[in-house]
Amino acid sequence: MVISSIAETMTRSIESVSHSISETLFEPVIRLGVTGLARSGKTVFITSLVANLMDSGRMGQLLAASEGRIEASFLQPQPDVTVPRFDYESHLSDLTGPDPRWPDSTRLISELRLSLRVRPSGLLSSLQGPRTVHLDIVDYPGEWLLDLALLEKSFSEWSREVLARIEPRKQADVFRAQLADTDTMAELNEPRAGALAESFTTYLNMARNAGFYDCTPGRFLLPGDLKGSPVLTFAPLPDTERPGRKSLWRTFERRFEAYKAQVVKPFFRDHFSRIDRQVVLVDALGAIHSGPRAVEDMRTGLAEILSAFRPGRNAFLTRLLLGKRVEKILFAATKADHIHHAQHMKLTGIMQALTRDAANRAQFSGAETAALSLASIRATVEETVNYQGEELDCVRGRLEETGRQAAFYPGALPENPSVLMVPARDGAIQWLGEDYNMMKFAPAPLSLRTGEGPPHIRLDRAAQFLFGDQL
Ligand SMILES: Nc1nc2c(ncn2[C@@H]2O[C@H](COP(=O)(O)OP(=O)(O)OP(=O)(O)O)[C@@H](O)[C@H]2O)c(=O)[nH]1
Ligand SMILES: [Mg+2]
């Protein structure tokens, strides 16, 4: 038995080695990670990227496409058989059907393999035939990266930090009251423990909906099939002197450790550590619209998320990566079709300010980084309107709520990002002077010509930066 199972493992590993050798020698694989906080635009980005690679008529800035070297592109079964497949077809039909709508929220990891048959460029083109490059796109919630910081914290450190952080938040009132009423030294009572974990989870959800980005443990918000399991049934508790082995405190401590070992580590080991190129999507306009506090929360949330790309800081990750690193990271402000192109540079500037620390650190550890603003699907057209004698650069689209067409002026973003970042850091309640508005536009009905994917803004530039060098 033992021998046969050893033999089986060996054959399997030989198989997988030879598989990966043939792939790397003849058919390169690029693993592209797509992440961002909730609602940042991951699903729409992947759907439009794939559609625009299958029909690359609008991908002028992707060299392989503009040089006409992409001979074919097709979806293939993905290599990771236990990861859900990215549901490309239904997201695409939501976006491009007769009554277009945005796809539903996804909130789980998923994967899609797009294979491109590309003719080599330059001198090689006459010597070599076309080759196949596999693009494995992995969509995962940015919130999962926040959990990396938990690995280095003990239960009591984590508890102390979280309890201090939630002290002023009204969303945590119920949880705090319940905690005050709990004897953490008493022997575990499962229903009470469950109730406490539940009210902590309710707090996390409310906090996230209110725009806070520091909501860990990440899987409490997106439990999937772990819902109700002990590994998600704990909450931060105040320090206690020598709690007994069977106490609520010790039980929650053990569950916190199990969460780290059995939920957090496998994600980093099986997914994160294998990513070659990464795009981080940021709904900067949404945060600006919500106000200074949302901008500051987003900035700190992003800084924490992005610390995962500086592995030196984390011992577990350093061991795991063994020197391998993400080669390129793109920070992209999404939904740029909400503003006139005259403002796109300013949006990119704000995006750079939001991610400055992270980008510096990533560059320091050897990754190439870039920032841009894009729209994965362009839902608006531009229009200049004369309003009370003033020329206003507007965008026009179909409002999601009423279905009616409207032209809309979002406000002027500042030339200097610190006009936003400084009051945000200083805890301002609202913006002084300018108001930033945002309408929700529905995707526009499309009549696509053959060879053209859905309209976008700078998706081709994003693609060129992320993997153009490999095509
Ligand atoms: N106008 C415009 N809106 C967009 C664009 N991309 C995303 N949105 C809006 O942002 C919302 C969220 O986009 P998704 O792609 O579902 O975001 P996500 O990051 O996958 O969200 P979760 O799966 O919930 O984490 C959409 O429902 C749209 O309202 C875009 O290119 N243009
Ligand atoms: Mg999604």
Report CA(146)–ligand 2 centroid distance (Å): 17
Q: Report the separation in Å between the CA atom of 86 and the middle of ligand 2, taken as the mean of its atom positions.
A: 10
* Residue closest by Cα to atom 7 of ligand 1: 41
DSSP H helices, 102-247, are 124-127, 143-146, 155-166, 173-180, 190-209, 218-221
Output the CA 44–ligand 2 centroid distance in Å. Answer: 7
Nearest CA to ligand 1 atom 27: 102
- pLDDT at position 435 is 78
Query: Mean pLDDT, 10 residues at a time, over the chain (471 residues)?
Result: 45 46 68 91 97 95 94 91 92 92 88 94 74 94 86 93 92 95 89 94 90 83 85 94 89 96 91 91 91 86 79 73 81 94 93 83 78 95 87 90 88 90 88 80 87 95 96 91
**Model pLDDT, residue 462:** 98
**Global pTM?**
0.87
CB count in 10 Å sphere of residue 6: 10
Q: Are 222 and 232 in contact (CB under 8 A)?
A: no
Tell the residue nearest (CA) to atom 9 of ligand 1: 41
CA distance 235 to 253: 9
**Ligand 1 within 6 A of CB of 307:** no
User: What is the distance in A from the centroid of ligand 2 to the CA of 303?
Assistant: 21
Burial of 19 (0-12, 13-18, 19+ CB in 10 A): exposed
Tell me the two tokens of residue 330: 């793109």
Distance CA 379, CA 101 (A): 11
The DSSP annotation for 272-307 comes to GGG-SEEEEEE-HHHHHHH-HHHHHHHHHHHHHHHG
CA of 279 to the centre of ligand 1 (A): 15
As given in the structure block, the two tokens for residue 323 are: 């020197």
| Residues flanking ion ligand 2, Cβ below 5 Å | 42-43, 106
- At residue 142, the 3 state secondary structure works out as coil
Q: Whose CA is nearest to atom 25 of ligand 1?
A: 38
Q: What integer pLDDT is reported at residue 25 of this predicted model? A: 57
Q: What is the pLDDT of residue 2?
A: 44
Our answer on whether the CB atom of 377 is closer than 6 Å to any ligand 1 atom is yes
